Amino acid sequence: MSGSADRILISSEQIQKRVREMAAQIEQDYPEGPIYIVSILKGAFIFVADLVRELKRPSVRIEFMAISSYGNQKTSSGQVKVTRDLDVNIEGQQVLIVEDIIDSGVTLSYLKRLLEQRHPKSLAIATLLDKPERRLAPVDVKYIGFQIPDEFVVGYGLDYAEDYRNLGDIRVLTP
Ligand code: PRP
């Protein structure tokens, strides 16, 4: 599909403001100890980079996992595969999974179950975007940046067939 992404759904300024608010809430909720940020590649990389720079404590550990469920399709295949696992032990740690978007919830509900088996002290989820209308698997999300309608969005880390991740705003992709 070739399309255009002319319509801004959430501007870069709105995103930055919300990211600062989310970071302030996270600081309040985790008053001490290291926080392990588990960034889910690839989509979350820009959100994580902005979010962690708003966390002022030194002990913010930034770890990466990669999950594949979509391939180059616009809808989830329902198949979740860990393509890159953590290389640290999270047992006894405060862990925050950071995602760019929750759609069906299939990826996050799988991932949460997987990481719970590693016995972190706490495990929560932060997502920049949430599409509640699309939910198939229930998932408990502690921090949500924006709830959005069921439209295909790109930018700020989100892609369509690997394009558009570099855009600063979140835009709607139209055919
Ligand atoms: C997106 C997003 C989540 C998942 C959410 O990743 O980053 O991981 O889909 O969808 P779900 O709630 O329906 O499971 P994607 O597979 O597009 O990979 P990417 O982040 O590498 O672009």
101 beta partners: 129
> What local confidence, expressed as pLDDT, does residue 80 receive?
86
Say yes or no: domain 12-151 is CATH 3.40.50.2020. yes
> What local confidence, expressed as pLDDT, does residue 124 receive?
98
Q: What are the tens digits of pLDDT across the range 58-76?
A: 999 999 999 987 554 545 5
Q: Which of 107, 109, 135 to mutate to test the pocket of ligand 1 (most atoms within 8 A of CB)?
A: 107
> What local confidence, expressed as pLDDT, does residue 137 receive?
92
- What is the set of active-site residues? 103
Every domain of the chain and the residues it spans: 12-151
* Mean pLDDT, residues 141-158: 97
> What local confidence, expressed as pLDDT, does residue 77 receive?
56
Interval between CA 32 and ligand 1 midpoint (Å): 31
Which is more confidently placed, 33 or 1? Answer: 33
pLDDT > 70: what percent of the chain?
94
Interval between CA 41 and ligand 1 midpoint (Å): 9
Q: Compute the mean pLDDT over every residue in the chain, rounded to the nearest whole number.
A: 93
Interval between CA 94 and ligand 1 midpoint (Å): 23
Entry pTM: 0.93
pLDDT-based confidence at 78, cuts 50/70/90?
low
> What local confidence, expressed as pLDDT, does residue 151 receive?
95
* Mean pLDDT, residues 122-143: 96
* Mean pLDDT, residues 107-135: 96
Ligand 1 atom with least separation from CA of 100: 7
* Mean pLDDT, residues 75-98: 89
**Per-residue 3-state assignment (H helix, E strand, C coil) for the chain:** CCCEEEEEEECHHHHHHHHHHHHHHHHHHCCCCCEEEEEEECCCHHHHHHHHHCCCCCCEEEEEEEEECCCCCCCCCCCCEEEECCCCCCCCCEEEEEEEEECCCHHHHHHHHHHHCCCCCEEEEEEEEECHHHCCCCCCCCEEEEECCCCCEEECCECECCECCCCCCEEEEEC
Q: Which of 42, 72, 84, 101 to mutate to test the pocket of ligand 1 (most atoms within 8 A of CB)?
A: 101
Ligand 1 atom with least separation from CA of 107: 14
Q: What are the tens digits of pLDDT across the range 5-23?
A: 889 999 999 999 999 999 9
Interval between CA 96 and ligand 1 midpoint (Å): 17
Tokens 């088996």 locate to 117
